Amino acid sequence: AVLYFLKMITASGGKIFATSEKKADFHTTLTKCKEAGGSIATPRNPDENDAILYFVKTFNTYAYLGIKECLIPSTFQFLGSRQVSYTNWHLNEPSSKEEEECVEMYTDGTWNDKSCNKNRLIVCQF
């Protein structure tokens, strides 16, 4: 209840989403979420997207999602090789620029392909 009060935890679709308010690059985010016993936040429907968006808006910063470009350019998949069945791309995204293999959430809840070395809000799911 304390974490919920501090705007650091929310729930949707049987998942718990949480943040530490810290930022990191994509690979560090994966590690931190795994160390906490979870995984990087991955929205699979509009409600889960909104649960992650809650943190993005609260802390007014972007967050990485558990989605990456696969071997086929401009094709993105959930981590673990599952095809993405829900998307919320920003207009004209993914843009398929070189080295934009990761996906970030904007403060309006839409997604953008981005390089993996930028620091973004760590949001994990459990």
Chain-centre distance of CA 33, in angstroms? 11
**Is 87 domain-assigned?**
yes
d(CA 95, CA 114): 9
**Is 9 domain-assigned?**
no
Buried b / exposed e along 16-36 (16+ C-beta atoms within 10 A): ebbbeeebbbbebbbebbeee
**Is 101 domain-assigned?**
yes
**Is 2 domain-assigned?**
no
How confident is the model over 95-111, as pLDDT tens digits?
878 789 999 999 999 99
**Is 52 domain-assigned?**
yes
Q: Which domain holds residue 43?
A: 22-125
How confident is the model over 12-53, as pLDDT tens digits?
989 999 999 999 999 999 999 999 999 999 999 999 999 999
**Is 114 domain-assigned?**
yes
| CATH code, 104 | 3.10.100.10
How many structural domains are present in the chain? 1
- pLDDT band of residue 4 (cuts 50, 70, 90) is low
The model's pTM is 0.90
**Is 17 domain-assigned?**
no
